[in-house]
Amino acid sequence: MPIADKLVQKSFSEIEQRSNSDIINKRRVINGEDDGLMQVSPLKHPFADEIFKTMLKNTWVPQEVPMGKDVEMWNTPGALTEQEKRVYERSLAFVSNLDGIQTNNLVINITRQITSPEVSLAIVRQAYEEALHVHSYATMIEALNLNPEDVYGLYRKDMELYNKNKRILQSFGKIAKPDFKTGTFEKDQLFLEACVANIVLEGIYFYSAFLIFYIFRRNNKMPGSADMIQFINRDEDMHLKLFISITNTIKEEQPELWTEGFQKEVRKIITDAVDLEYEWGKSCIGDGILGLTPENLREYLQFIGDMRLQMIGLPKKWNSKNPFPWIDEITQSSMIEVNFFEGTVKEYSIGTLDWD
């Protein structure tokens, strides 16, 4: 039953009996009781509010990122090899498709199942950021005067891209039907599986493309594009954190869902995703490009995959080392923070989990 109907179907005398503590103590990520009025103070799920506040601090717009050097380089004969240009376009096509899929997935499939208002706020902000990313890729396409057919139209000519997009869309297919609703063991497991698909999208599928853009910049090629990707990467880190927390909180709230069989299934989803991402990355770089080889790409993706497994309480599979330790400096370094609220933010205390 949609949240709004729950409120409408209750009489005033029934509502009158309820207190805020009743509402908050019954709050859950899914299958909670909520009146649909977004009462987010105090909180039941403080992780979502922390992430939301960090997302606000991370506000940026693609027009702030200078693309002048990239435009000059793209148009200077010999500055980029033909192979490098194709790798660039193919990577751009894929990340653009991925953010497009995710914008729709969050808005259409995910938010309608969430019954925690603070979690909903964070997901709504995430959806805005995915839309911003879609817009960022369009900004790059326009700045470089690329043929949209070579980027947006690539999945119609490139079987590997078509298959990868199809596979990602299928991972959300089980919760996409208009009448899908959590509330049974089977449906709740399907929703949890979709949360894992989000972790895979945010935390594995972007990673060969991100790596390719950073490797270009380390070789003094297309630095504006890598800066744009770095802003996007910072957002994706928060999205990953959000879905890791959502997954772990659903596990706590409904531990019966996290069966041994289901854990095996989740492990397989993550390990298959690493293999798929490797196949895709390898098809982009061929024998190698600018020091990025199929071997170190595989090692890197396995290192990422192990981290994702551990984040949701599963053991590592590969024990691979990060062959590109400089990536950590990029993703964890303090970027230029566009903090519109500096000086005006107050420290609010966060409500306890059981509030009365």
Q: Which residues form the catalytic set?
A: 137
Q: Based on CB atoms, which residue is closest to Fe ion, 5 or 64?
A: 64
φ, ψ for residue 315, nearest 5 deg: -70, 155
Q: Based on CB atoms, which residue is closest to Fe ion, 34 or 130?
A: 130
Tell how far CA 221 is from the center of its chain.
26
User: Considering the complex, what minimum distance in angstroms separates the CB of residue 101 from Fe ion?
Assistant: 10
Evaluate the omega torsion of the peptide bond into residue 294 and state whether it is cis, within 30 degrees of 0: no
User: Considering the complex, what minimum distance in angstroms separates the CB of residue 235 from Fe ion?
Assistant: 6
Q: Based on CB atoms, which residue is closest to Fe ion, 189 or 198?
A: 198
φ, ψ for residue 239, nearest 5 deg: -65, -40
User: Considering the complex, what minimum distance in angstroms separates the CB of residue 20 from Fe ion?
Assistant: 32
Q: Based on CB atoms, which residue is closest to Fe ion, 90 or 239?
A: 239
To which H or E segment does residue 181 belong?
none
* Rounded Cα distance, 279 and 285, in Å: 10
Question: What is the CB neighbour count within 10 angstroms for residue 335?
Answer: 15
Q: Based on CB atoms, which residue is closest to Fe ion, 241 or 282?
A: 241
Sign of CA dihedral 223, 229, 235, 238: negative
* Rounded Cα distance, 52 and 238, in Å: 9
DSSP tag of 76: S
User: Considering the complex, what minimum distance in angstroms separates the CB of residue 277 from Fe ion?
Assistant: 15
Helix (H, G, I), strand (E, B) or coil at 289: strand
User: Considering the complex, what minimum distance in angstroms separates the CB of residue 347 from Fe ion?
Assistant: 28
Residues near Fe ion, by CB under 5 A: 99, 130, 133, 202, 236, 239
Alpha-carbon distances, residue 292 vs 84, 87, 235, 283, 323 (angstroms): 12, 12, 25, 13, 10
What amino acid is encoded at 245 in this protein?
S
